[in-house]
Structure 1
Amino acid sequence: MKRVIVDYKKLDNHILNLLVEKFPDGYDDDDIVTYRNASNEVVECIEVRTEDTAYLVKVSKRLVMAMEVHEDVDTDSDSEEESSLDTEGLEGDEEDE
């Protein structure tokens, strides 16, 4: 199975749909996968799977905001486009944890 690490800035509607389906009420600490990257920094992710790929999506406050925005847009629209999510409006004063 292919494993792909995805930052919230690179999320597309397909991955966001998977996240919202798997975590409709949000995720909690038990859902977080932790590992150390090549720079020995701790990275926290949540995992969603398709038939052939496991996506590790990096956890951040912006991810939660993107999921909420996507869920709101998805319920307001019947469109199933596979385009990138515009996250420019989500660029806030997030403190790195």
Structure 2
Amino acid sequence: MRNRQTVALKRVIVDCKKLDNHILNLLVEKYPEGYDDADIVTYRNANNEVVECIEVRTEDTAYLVRVSKRLVMAMEDYDDSENISGNDGETSLDTDGLEDSDEE
């Protein structure tokens, strides 16, 4: 019988306002055509509010990124800047100016 070593992933919840280029790159790689309803993870937070997220993982961390219009726009802008510059994600992405309304 083989010994199985269970690796506990660190879980991190990220708001789209706090996205960095590393997480954006993971999102764009996993969801190059965007995400759909089947990709959304839903849970209730400490205030019993429904929160919708999409998940991306690294070897040691599971990131839950809150879903909003701002996230979609940030992913599109990041993907566009990646295609134009081709500099492996070293661009600085400013999400502060993106549309903030209609966030869930």
Equivalent pairs counted in the alignment come to 96
Name the Cα RMSD after superposition.
Answer: 1.5
| 1:80-95 paired onto structure 2 within 5 Å | 80=88, 85-92=93-100, 94-95=101-102
Q: When the two structures are superposed, what TM-score results if normalisation uses the length of structure 2?
A: 0.85
Greater C-alpha Rg: 2
Runs of at least 4 residues off by over 3 Å: 80-84
Instruction: Find out whether 1:8 has 2:16 as its counterpart.
Output: yes
- Deviation of 1:81 after TM superposition, in Å, equals 5.0
- Normalising by structure 1, we get a TM-score of 0.91
**Are residues 1:41 and 2:66 paired?**
no
Using the TM superposition, give the Cα deviation of residue 42 of structure 1 relative to its aligned residue in structure 2, in angstroms. Answer: 0.3
Report the Cα offset of residue 10 of structure 1: 0.4
In structure 1, stretches of 5+ residues that fail to align are: none
% same residue = 75
1:79 Cα deviation after fit: 2.3
Unaligned runs of 5+ in 2: 1-8
- Distance change >3 Å, CA 31–CA 86, structure 1 → 2: same
Deviation at 1:77, TM superposition (A): 1.0
